[in-house]
Amino acid sequence: MSAEIIRLCDRRAAVDVDLQIDLRTAVDVAIRDLQEIHAHWGTELALERLTECRSMLRTVLEAS
């Protein structure tokens, strides 16, 4: 199994343009986002990641 590594700054750019990832990849990215959110809980960074993660998952789910 392999996965495309999406850097956070790259992912934000991809969301603005056109998110073209499959549901499995989106779940993998969401799990990594949740780890970062947990590590920075209560900060502006965590809130930003939470918002991005939710948006990405909604976009991918709607496209699937």
- Alpha-carbon distances of 43 from 16, 20, 25, rounded to whole Å: 23, 29, 26
Residue 38, pLDDT score: 93
23 token code pair: 């549901």
Residue 22, pLDDT score: 83
- Give the residues of the chain that fall short of pLDDT 70: 1-19
